[in-house]
Structure 1
Amino acid sequence: MKPKPHLNESGLYDYAIKALARRMRTEAEMRRLMQARVEPGPHGEEVIDATVMRIKQNGYLNDAVYAETYTRLRKENEKFGLRRVRQDLRQKGVSVNLVEKTIGESYAKTDEETLARQHLERKRIRKPSNEKETARIMRRLVTAGFSTSVIYKILRQWDVSDESLSALDNIEEDQTSE
């Protein structure tokens, strides 16, 4: 397969606009995407910088708007916890300060337990009947970004046996020691 030709600034701009039309992206994601379409080296970096500046000036690329929208959608639609959204935004290249500011504002008045219960309801997860199901629910909630204190609180309200909870403690200790 023949490699795609390197793009000049206007070609790269058109490419970037089409990519942004398909879905919203962060500046870091756009830079990674454009990297393959320019010649390697300092000239390619200059073309990327100029293109990113132009896209930002036209209002098509804004990490603050991206972070706010992403956080709101993950919280309202997916019912994800604060930790998950923070991790996802960091992986997408949003700056630490912007992530903390956005998440702080979005999750300030959110009750994590209520959100975790909504997540369980959305995923149609019911009360566990044995240790294996309890561990599965714990993993699902940790993956969704909820704190272990909230998870244990929910499991205790479901009257999960103390043996199951202590087994989870052992699993958790094994994972943190690795």
Structure 2
Amino acid sequence: MDLTFRFLYAFRYTSAVAFKRPARKDYTEESLYEYAIGALGRRMRSVAEMKRLMRPKVAHQEDGDRMVEAVIERLKQQKYLNDARYAETYSNNRKENQKFGRLRVTTDLKARGVHGDVIDAAMKTTYGDTDEVELAKKFVQRKRIKPLDPKDQKAAARIFRTLLRAGFSSRSAYRVLNGMKADAEILAALEAEAAEATETPENE
């Protein structure tokens, strides 16, 4: 019994040592800056994204917040961080490569912490002269959505909702489905559903 107890104690002690978490790294302002440069080298990021990325690294340090702000200011001065450029580049890539609509890109940029005025300017530049219906058709082609059976309500609803999630208005989605020869009654029902979904939050 005594040997068993000692064995279990030794096993637990060894396991605790083996799985002990490494000590948190302490950053200086310079090493935090180097970390930020590495992150930006992998992909563009907004100011808010960079703050979210750096803060957990220095949360245990007394001057962590100050270092984050100092690094952000330095990156801005060096033009490595620029939300206006980021928003325009991001929105252009999402439009040209993924064929997303304005509403989807606007939502994504908000989630990345970009200010509303900056987003509005980027949308004007990227989508100002865009025919949304034509872009929605390109999105359907890119997704390789199969030709629609005019009477297939489930398929029509699936395409309609896919277009809404991709950032297109219900009117544009309606016109795309109309071009795919969807049944008029099905289209009317989908349009009514979209209108109801839009109005519901305002009434609550």
TM-score bracket for the superposition, by shorter chain length? over 0.9
SS where residue 97 of structure 1 aligns? Answer: helix
Number of positions where the alignment pairs a residue of Structure 1 with one of Structure 2: 178
Correspondence for 2:71 among 51, 55, 72? 51
Q: Which residue of 1 aligns with 2:50?
A: 30
Change (3 A) 1:42 1:99: farther
SS where residue 128 of structure 1 aligns? Answer: coil
Describe how 1:129-140 pairs up with structure 2 within 5 A. 129=149, 130-140=152-162
Stretches of structure 1 lacking an aligned partner (at least 5 in a row): none
Change (3 A) 1:3 1:88: farther
Correspondence for 2:141 among 112, 121, 146? 121
C-alpha distance in structure 1 between counterparts of 2:121 and 2:56, whole Å: 32
| 8 Å CA contact retained: 2:104, 2:167 | yes
- Deviation digits for residues 144-178 of structure 1, max 9, x if unmatched? 10001111112122221123223324543564437
Larger radius of gyration: 2
| 8 Å CA contact retained: 2:101, 2:135 | yes
| 8 Å CA contact retained: 1:6, 1:39 | no
SS where residue 7 of structure 1 aligns? Answer: coil
C-alpha distance in structure 2 between counterparts of 1:163 and 1:18, whole Å: 55
Deviation at 1:25, TM superposition (A): 0.5
Give me the TM-score of the superposition, normalised by structure 2: 0.81
| 8 Å CA contact retained: 1:116, 1:146 | yes
Moved more, 6-15 or 36-45: 36-45
- Deviation digits for residues 35-60 of structure 1, max 9, x if unmatched? 01114577211111111111112221
Q: Which residue of 2 aligns with 1:73?
A: 93
Change (3 A) 1:3 1:113: farther
Correspondence for 1:141 among 147, 158, 163? 163
Give me the TM-score of the superposition, normalised by structure 1: 0.92
| 8 Å CA contact retained: 1:84, 1:144 | yes
Q: Which residue of 2 aligns with 1:103?
A: 123
What is the identity, as a one-letter code, of the residue corresponding to 2:163? L
Moved more, 75-84 or 50-59: 50-59
Greater relative contact order (Cα 8 A, min sep 6): structure 1 or 2? 1
| 8 Å CA contact retained: 2:45, 2:86 | yes
| 8 Å CA contact retained: 1:8, 1:38 | no
